[in-house]
Amino acid sequence: MTLSGRSDIQAVEQAFDAIERDARALLKGLTEAQGAWRPAPEEWSIAHCFDHLATANRVYLRAMEPPAERALQQGRLRRGPAVPGLIGVWFVRSLEPPVKPRFKMKAPKKIVPRPSPPPYDAVAQFFASQVEVRAFLRKYFNIDLAGVPFPNPFIRGVRFSLATGLHVIAAHERRHLWQARNVRARALGERGAAATA
């Protein structure tokens, strides 16, 4: 069975396609200086956003891969579409942009971006992590993604389904691409950067 036979899996893959298109559009014409520019000392640059996403993706995948591999070895094939459950849906929605003040949160320590990530390296790491996410999807698409849990790597005692994990990764990427677009606009002076920088 190929991915083309699974509309739910295709939807996940198409979400990552859209994210990558948005990321490339955001980066088009951007200089290294603009990629490293920070609106304020405590705020992130575009490079910080990409560095954070690359690290977060890999931390999530490290938590998801052992249960996925066990399910594959045990022949736990899909029993329904790869969609989040009720709690998973709520969590995914809480990550989606535009970010609402009550859903602002500090990044967990293990995925805080490097202090001054080189923009081109941060971007390269992000796209490399995208390859890893897609490899996970292609390897495990036929297991019971909605029924196999994995331990949330950031919230002790919380378990999500693998399907929720994939949707969380996509929503989290959209969240920080939205943040990076806002930083880009300010860096390029499109929203009065001169008055606020």
What pLDDT digit, counting tens, does each position of 114-151 carry?
999 999 999 999 999 999 999 999 999 999 999 999 99
Which pair of structure tokens corresponds to residue 65?
């891969």
Assess whether pLDDT exceeds 90 at residue 5: no
pLDDT score of 155: 83
Q: Between 1.20.120, 3.40.390, 3.40.50, 1.10.3470, what CATH number should domain 3-191 receive?
A: 1.20.120
pTM, full prediction: 0.90
Note the pLDDT tens digit of each residue in 58-116.
999 999 999 999 999 999 999 989 999 888 999 999 999 998 766 677 888 889 999 99
